[in-house]
């Protein structure tokens, strides 16, 4: 209880409720601002200011105390949430040891800049610029880095996306799948299970019977014709054509 010494007017009052263990249960702060009829009370403005500041401080302390108590109560009864994935910041592929590894200097020498960017730096070629977008020969598509067989030409189809698309793998163990949260969205990244080269992404909007669409960068692939003829030479212009455009085209969510 605070009083003005000159006019004995009550400025503010504070009441505390304590339990048997001297723990604070309730705080009640009340302010009474009565301006006396006499003008000789010089302490009015002082006590008004002190009262308001005191009330504000107690309100903050009370609110913080209630928050802490509520947090402890909830955390003691509710199981802690699982660790959040890095979706807002983007997720990078977890480092792991692949069965086949190559020195970066070697890869820079035998791969085109576009092939290196896509397979080693998870890049994306521009839509409709890849070498194998409209490729229709019979054969097998392999990893451009290590030569692992990935897709058959029999499962290739025209998705209209601008990237080579396949409905299935030659062997399930030839490709590794991992969650990709880059660019604020969730996709399934496809990588070569032998060397870890980035291939593209897997979507669930493909044709029957699998319903899958493996959307793959042309620069991640090489081709082995069925008749044993020499595979088409990788054109530098096709690979370089997408170097400046790493964002997908409009339409479906792609690579």
List residues bridging with 187 in a β-sheet.
180
Give the separation between CA 218 and CA 94, rounded to whole angstroms. 24
For 239, residues 6+ apart whose C-beta sits below 8 A from its C-beta are 112, 113, 114, 115, 125, 131, 218, 219
Asked if residue 148 lies in contact with residue 171, where contact means CB atoms within 8 angstroms, the answer is no
Q: Which is catalytic among the residues 4, 143, 146, 215?
A: 215
Phi, then psi, of 42 in degrees rounded to 5: -80, -10
Q: Is 215 an annotated catalytic residue?
A: yes
Give the separation between CA 253 and CA 255, rounded to whole angstroms. 7
**Edge-to-edge order in the sheet of strand 198-203:** 156-157, 165-166, 213-216, 198-203, 187-192, 175-180
Give the separation between CA 110 and CA 116, rounded to whole angstroms. 9
Give the separation between CA 131 and CA 235, rounded to whole angstroms. 7
Q: How many CB atoms lie within 10 A of CB 196?
A: 22
Rounded to the nearest 10°, the torsion over CA 118, 122, 124, 130 is 30
Give the separation between CA 148 and CA 34, rounded to whole angstroms. 88
Residues involved in catalysis:
215
């Amino acid at each position: 209880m605070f009083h003005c010494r000159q006019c004995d007017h009550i400025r503010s009052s504070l009441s505390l409720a304590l339990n048997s263990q001297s723990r604070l249960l309730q705080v009640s702060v009340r302010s009474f601002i009565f301006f006396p009829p006499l003008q000789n009370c010089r302490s009015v403005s002082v006590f008004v200011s002190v009262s308001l500041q005191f009330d504000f401080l107690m309100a903050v302390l009370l609110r913080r105390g209630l928050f802490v108590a509520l947090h402890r109560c909830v955390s003691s009864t509710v199981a802690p949430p699982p660790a959040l994935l890095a979706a807002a910041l983007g997720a990078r592929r977890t480092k792991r040891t692949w069965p086949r590894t190559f020195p970066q200097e070697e890869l820079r020498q035998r791969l085109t800049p576009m092939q290196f960017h896509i397979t080693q730096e998870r890049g994306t070629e521009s839509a409709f610029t890849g070498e194998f977008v409209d490729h229709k020969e019979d054969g097998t598509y392999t990893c451009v880095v290590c030569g692992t067989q990935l897709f058959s030409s029999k499962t290739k189809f025209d998705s209209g996306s601008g990237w080579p698309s396949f409905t299935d793998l030659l062997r399930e163990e030839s490709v590794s799948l991992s969650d990709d949260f880059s660019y604020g969205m969730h996709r399934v990244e496809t990588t070569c299970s032998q060397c870890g080269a980035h291939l593209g992404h897997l979507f669930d909007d493909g044709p029957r019977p699998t319903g899958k669409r493996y959307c793959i960068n042309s620069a991640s692939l090489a081709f082995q014709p069925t008749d044993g003829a020499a595979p088409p030479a990788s054109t530098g212009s096709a690979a370089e054509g997408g170097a400046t455009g790493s964002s997908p085209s409009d339409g479906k969510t792609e690579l």
